[in-house]
């Protein structure tokens, strides 16, 4: 039984878009960046991915709600933005179906590039200046990133969840992929500065502006105060 359904709401007129795809993960970084880009670029939804049968319910204390497990594909000019929102699919099968759909959407519009992003857990003291580490789907692409003086992921590691797996799918289907992971110390707290660091990296890679990140910096300061007390 297929547990994911996809609803096409509109047929956007776009060719060879860049795709930026990420879901909520450590420090909410994936969602913060995707939601920010959608807001600043005023993107428009054209396709929805949703889980048909939830794997849990939300108990409000005496009555239950079904979780809203759905994610949007949005677009503007020559850009497709996927993900953001809350959570990721709960099981591997759903995650694979979702990655496959992102790839099929990429192929449908002849996308040449998929960017993904997320958190990078580290013990390094960040002093409000987290770095973004980059990894790619090929050695050739990696060389290009090094020329741009971007920092590559420092050691061999496993990247789990959508924000890693989508790169594997991109590689398998011969679409170029770049993953950007912002440093964070505390995965359980929303990490706005890691998000800012990633946004600046995407801007550098795509030669385009995604909007003023001052609001994210203010949110980061609010988080600082809350957890200092």
Q: Which tens digit of pLDDT belongs to each residue from 31-43?
A: 999 999 999 999 9
Check which CATH number belongs to the domain holding 51 and give it.
Answer: 3.40.50.10900
The pLDDT confidence band at residue 2, using thresholds 50, 70 and 90, is low
Mean pLDDT of 145-168: 91
Domain interval for residue 53: 4-228
Query: What's the structural domain count of the chain?
Result: 1
Supply the pLDDT for residue 23: 95
**Residue in 197, 198, 177, 194 with CA at minimum distance from that of residue 185:** 194
Predicted pLDDT of residue 160: 83
Over residues 203-224, the mean pLDDT reads 92
Instruction: Please give the average per-residue pLDDT across 162-190, as a whole number.
Output: 95
**pTM of the predicted model, to two decimals?**
0.92
Say if residue 88's pLDDT is above 60.
yes
Q: Which whole number is the average pLDDT over 75-90?
A: 90
The pLDDT, as a whole number, for residue 229 is: 64
Looking at residue 159, its pLDDT comes to 85
Count Cβ neighbours within 10 Å for each residue of 78-114 and write b for 16 or more, e otherwise.
ebbbbbbbeebbeeeebbebbbebbbebbeebebebb
pLDDT tens per residue, range 113-143:
999 999 999 888 888 889 999 999 999 999 9
| Average pLDDT of every residue of the chain | 92
């Amino acid at each position: 039984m297929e547990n994911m359904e996809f609803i096409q709401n509109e047929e956007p007129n776009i060719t060879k878009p860049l795709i930026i795809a990420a879901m909520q993960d450590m420090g909410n970084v994936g969602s913060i960046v995707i939601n920010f880009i959608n807001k600043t670029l005023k993107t428009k939804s054209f396709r929805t991915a949703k889980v048909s049968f939830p794997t849990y319910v939300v108990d409000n204390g005496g009555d239950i709600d079904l979780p809203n497990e759905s994610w949007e594909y949005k677009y503007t000019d020559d850009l497709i933005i996927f993900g953001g929102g809350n959570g990721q699919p709960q099981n591997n099968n759903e995650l694979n179906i979702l990655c496959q759909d992102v790839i099929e959407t990429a192929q449908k519009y002849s996308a040449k590039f998929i960017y993904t992003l997320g958190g990078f857990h580290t013990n390094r003291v960040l002093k409000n200046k987290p770095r973004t580490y980059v990894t790619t789907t090929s050695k050739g692409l990696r060389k290009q990133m090094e020329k741009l003086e971007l920092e590559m992921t420092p050691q061999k590691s496993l990247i789990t969840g959508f924000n890693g797996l989508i790169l594997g799918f991109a590689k398998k289907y011969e679409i170029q992929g770049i993953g950007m992971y912002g440093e964070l110390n505390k995965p359980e707290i929303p990490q706005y500065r890691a998000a800012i660091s990633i946004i600046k990296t995407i801007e550098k890679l795509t030669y385009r502006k995604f909007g003023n990140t001052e609001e994210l910096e203010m949110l980061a300061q609010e988080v600082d105060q809350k957890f200092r007390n």
